[in-house]
Amino acid sequence: MLAPRVLEAWLRQAQPGDAFEYYRGMLGPARSPLGPIKAERQRRALDRLAATAWGLAESGRVHLLQRRAGPCSFSYL
């Protein structure tokens, strides 16, 4: 699981048009206690990463995108 600092470090050196996949799967269910990630620690780490990405988008620093990766799987960019 990526740490939010990895996303922030990537952003510091990113150029316009660059993309960073911070999660692959189904993010909403993965963040839920009833989802596929059973380990509380991993789920909290994913939640922090997703919250960091959302905060960067709200501040206008990035655009968040989803790309279908397969059945019931998406790349979160």
Q: Which of 3, 24, 47 is nearest to 39 (CA)?
A: 47
pTM of the model: 0.87
How many CB atoms are closer than 10 A to CB 27? 18
CA 12, chain centre distance (Å) = 17
CA 14, chain centre distance (Å) = 16
For the segment 15-73, what is each residue's pLDDT rounded down to a tens digit? 999 999 999 999 999 999 999 999 999 999 999 999 999 999 999 999 999 999 999 99
d(CA 14, CA 40): 31
Identify the pLDDT of residue 77: 95
